Structure 1
């Protein structure tokens, strides 16, 4: 192989933590150009290195930290990475994105990805720098929160190290445990449990290998222009109030999931609104590494608990569970961070359990909608896998299979991943996006809500136009998740594929145009589906829970919303056709961009 393209190292480091050995995996240009980085390259690595049918928590299951050609450049929001593995929650592909200095330090070790396989004999930390990898004892950190473990590792080895760590939930195999770093989280799908199953508490990185770009002056000019545009109206709400500004807006248009999706409005939404919390409980604002937007808002409860607040954690721990006390919701969010668990899956699973109690299906009479103390108790039991937490730590799909009694009909998941804060019956492009997404019920890999809110479509009645819009947002997300850019920049780009192609050319030296980049997006989307097909996906997995289909959702003033199953079926069939799939969701022909042609 010749020298790597600009922005790339041209190799991945694969570490077997069973004995601490490591190997370098060359990444040829056609693989890098075909999958870019982040989620795309992570999918390729998982397909190549993961044995077919491997159990997600088995030693042989790989977990990859994947960077991109933009990491280390001055481009705003570029300090991002993907963590990619087979999810213990879904049994399918999962990629979780996050932003921090870990991305920069990891890339500067001289690798485009760091892949962990095996299982350490004793709890260990994995340290990787430009000289290679080594294991050190983690007995001191085991049992700590991720933040405390990270601080302990840096105090022990030096401040230049950056660590991604798991909390107690990851150690105990909670199926929606997170991997955390710099107070941020690779949150969805249980990747913290995968790292915990390998007996690894922290992966720490330190590097000094600079990665040159092809046209430095052009990249600097683009970075200056993009930074200027990032201060414009497209990002204003994120800067001023953060994503929590969505809560009152969603409540007003009947799309705020409440009491396990039994309602789409929450009477006490104002108590949890960004406007109210910012005035009474704001502590600080902050930014991710290399970010000019600054969407992070930190609030404190009256009890002193501090939490980084976003729409999704407030929705999941507030309206979804019927809890309106802001102090209890903030404390619950902080508790999730301490334990290292995904707030969306935690809130969804607890809300399902609350409904089970309400229906007499689960013997936990203390676990009731609207009871903030019960919410906090449930989180504590999930983190320790004690009491009802032993059941809820499995996620709503597995818990419903255990409880039975028809409780699967209202378990709020797709493919095992709990739904985010969007009501599918009143956002029917989003309903499709949730149903067909490779990761499961997810709002970041699809982004179909954009079509519901800004596409000029009737969001209460899904059609083929909704499908085409959803496909477009999914393609854009595939590129943004692989380059990697923050989704909050999406409104800044006026001609996204043209601009991204030009930028990629400046960084790498490749002659890339928008047509090639659109083909790359399709390749990445289908590569995720191909991986899932290999791991046992069936057409029944591309569907929504029974709760959302057929019945009417009361909207007030005599209005209702309905998503008939035949309408969802028609949208899914149209989606398959748009993607070149048969009615069974499988490829009709072997693509010229097949996995075999992308092997090194």
Structure 2
């Protein structure tokens, strides 16, 4: 019998041909305890089920929807799931988290994960509930935005189904296409392209069972306490202004990437700031499923309509591309939602192309920094994979730079092929390390080291040993939160995070787990991610930043500069390897391989 909160099995679904076949895949309790669920369990499943060297868009490449023990409990922010696959953008492991009722319904199909392989003969939808699986042709959904496809699918099959869908970009296998559900996105790494390569427009799930917890009364009491704390000062910023509150703050400390990372302050930032938009455009605040924080802020759009805006999409489609008109940024963000593409990778790739035009490397004179109409035109070209520029930019900045040449890779804003988020590495040097070594590539959600940079306790302009410790600690915390799964906006409410998380797990699962065990679990998950990437060809040479970040100092004004050279970064990377127990080439040492539990269970297909 599985621990509380788990079923002890995954469902392997093959959509090859015109039907779906499924077999259960047993999950040993040691694996569930060792990886927790979510991103952790998804990483373990990819090790076991993804053939070494598989093309991410091949039928044999698995796409995993993974749940956790907390999903379906009354614990705030726990209605989340992970999508895990080999990324068509990076060629390495990628994972993305999302919040919605899909998480609860997906788990209550009776599985801790749903893993999809194969390719349908025609565009189809996959339905999974307590009665089994079936594949239904859905050519009428072709070309629809994900939100419209969700509505159409639920109208056809019934309102009791919960739907995750791709937009037109996923169908066309844009390498940074997203998977969407209830207006939210499993956004980074091209998971929508993986789903599109399987000829699946949508996955529909419907609850068919229940799952028990070890201590129902204890879980209810913990849920009441956590809900109370979620209304406190640690989450006030998210409730009052949302993540967009970061824009002016980052601009003030010269860490707002602007015009493809050629500057770190943006003169148009006040027009895009949450403070300004809240007064002029704010119309509503919303919450994810089972969430008491309510970080989602909705703004009115010119000409009618509403748009949810976050810091990352405003940064990527605004300052990074030099666009300061909020209406143009809103329109670009809405178009990304309709097409189903990651705003960070879209903005980063377009900003790189704008600089290529400035340098005479691309003959697209209309594509200029600061031109919102050009930004929208480029997004349309990407979503349509139109010949020429659209096909080029749909590949992401690293692949596009490989085509353009002329050392354009030096200013492509990516790590391991994933475009950089809205944090300037030269002025946030703990974050610089976190971005360089992260398994997913340039990512702010799997390494929150910027918190240490901005805490005032470190010299954020001079990375060293303390920055290494901060990067390791924040990466460990993210590994646990992303696997349990809890929203990171809750992180500030925990005084003793690992001990408190262990307490929540004990109430749900019945395990006698403590803080020390969870710290070991975090290290296991991080090492398992790295081991997968090493298997797929990654090397220590990939743990770096673009040459621009290491060769060109950042002007901060008043004669001040921020510089991060390759020697300093290499020293921090070496310190990270040592802290992680890796060898000098960043490899998992043989003595630690048994801890990954990859031979714990025989394949049961």
Cα distance in structure 2, aligned partners of 1:206 and 1:17: 18
Question: What corresponds to 2:595 in structure 1?
Answer: 593
The Cα offsets for residues 336-381 of structure 1, whole Å up to 9 and x where unpaired, read as 0000000000000000000000000101000000000000000000
Aligned-pair CA distance for 1:538: 1.3
Cα distance in structure 1, aligned partners of 2:124 and 2:462: 52
Give the RMSD, CA atoms, in angstroms. 0.8
Question: What corresponds to 1:485 in structure 2?
Answer: 486
Question: What corresponds to 2:317 in structure 1?
Answer: 317
Trace 1:286-435 onto structure 2 (pairs within 5 A): 286-386=286-386, 387-435=388-436
SS of alignment partner, residue 581 of structure 2:
coil
Question: What corresponds to 1:120 in structure 2?
Answer: 120
Aligned-pair CA distance for 1:587: 2.0
Q: Which moved more, 1:330-339 or 1:275-284?
A: 275-284
Question: What corresponds to 2:263 in structure 1?
Answer: 263
Tell me if structure 1 keeps the 8 A contact 2:175–2:396. yes
Question: What corresponds to 1:501 in structure 2?
Answer: 502
Trace 1:399-548 onto structure 2 (pairs within 5 A): 399-454=400-455, 456-548=457-549
Cα distance in structure 2, aligned partners of 1:422 and 1:9: 40
Q: Which moved more, 1:117-126 or 1:207-216?
A: 207-216
Tell me if structure 2 keeps the 8 A contact 1:432–1:571. yes
Tell me if structure 2 keeps the 8 A contact 1:321–1:369. yes
Aligned-pair CA distance for 1:599: 2.6
Cα distance in structure 1, aligned partners of 2:108 and 2:32: 17
Question: What corresponds to 2:577 in structure 1?
Answer: 576
The unaligned stretches of length 5 or more in structure 2 are: none
Cα distance in structure 2, aligned partners of 1:476 and 1:550: 31
Tell me if structure 1 keeps the 8 A contact 2:37–2:112. yes
The Cα offsets for residues 310-345 of structure 1, whole Å up to 9 and x where unpaired, read as 000000000000000000000000000000000000
Cα distance in structure 2, aligned partners of 1:468 and 1:245: 27
Tell me if structure 2 keeps the 8 A contact 1:214–1:506. yes
Question: What corresponds to 2:178 in structure 1?
Answer: 178
Aligned-pair CA distance for 1:305: 4.6
Cα distance in structure 1, aligned partners of 2:523 and 2:309: 33
SS of alignment partner, residue 136 of structure 1:
strand
Tell me if structure 2 keeps the 8 A contact 1:169–1:383. yes
SS of alignment partner, residue 551 of structure 2:
coil
Question: What corresponds to 1:13 in structure 2?
Answer: 11
Trace 1:234-273 onto structure 2 (pairs within 5 A): 234-273=234-273
Cα distance in structure 2, aligned partners of 1:572 and 1:205: 42
Tell me if structure 2 keeps the 8 A contact 1:283–1:298. yes
State yes or no: 1:214 paired with 2:214. Answer: yes
SS of alignment partner, residue 554 of structure 2:
strand
Question: What corresponds to 1:30 in structure 2?
Answer: 30
The Cα offsets for residues 525-580 of structure 1, whole Å up to 9 and x where unpaired, read as 00000000111101111100000003211111111100011000000000000001
Tell me if structure 2 keeps the 8 A contact 1:282–1:299. yes
Tell me if structure 2 keeps the 8 A contact 1:306–1:334. no
Aligned-pair CA distance for 1:142: 1.3
SS of alignment partner, residue 23 of structure 1:
strand
SS of alignment partner, residue 140 of structure 2:
coil
SS of alignment partner, residue 195 of structure 2:
helix
Tell me if structure 2 keeps the 8 A contact 1:305–1:331. no
Cα distance in structure 2, aligned partners of 1:458 and 1:197: 46
SS of alignment partner, residue 116 of structure 2:
strand
Give the TM-score taking structure 2 as reference length: 0.98
Cα distance in structure 2, aligned partners of 1:541 and 1:66: 27
Aligned-pair CA distance for 1:455: 5.8
The Cα offsets for residues 52-72 of structure 1, whole Å up to 9 and x where unpaired, read as 000000000000000000000
Tell me if structure 1 keeps the 8 A contact 2:47–2:598. no
SS of alignment partner, residue 591 of structure 2:
coil
Cα distance in structure 2, aligned partners of 1:433 and 1:10: 33
Moved over 4 A (4+): none
Cα distance in structure 2, aligned partners of 1:441 and 1:306: 30
Tell me if structure 2 keeps the 8 A contact 1:303–1:327. no
Question: What corresponds to 2:48 in structure 1?
Answer: 48
Aligned-pair CA distance for 1:389: 1.2
Aligned-pair CA distance for 1:208: 3.1
SS of alignment partner, residue 596 of structure 2:
coil
Tell me if structure 2 keeps the 8 A contact 1:10–1:29. yes
Tell me if structure 1 keeps the 8 A contact 2:31–2:597. no
The unaligned stretches of length 5 or more in structure 1 are: none
Distance change >3 Å, CA 498–CA 455, structure 1 → 2: farther
Tell me if structure 2 keeps the 8 A contact 1:301–1:328. no
Give the TM-score taking structure 1 as reference length: 0.99
Tell me if structure 2 keeps the 8 A contact 1:300–1:330. no
Aligned-pair CA distance for 1:430: 0.2
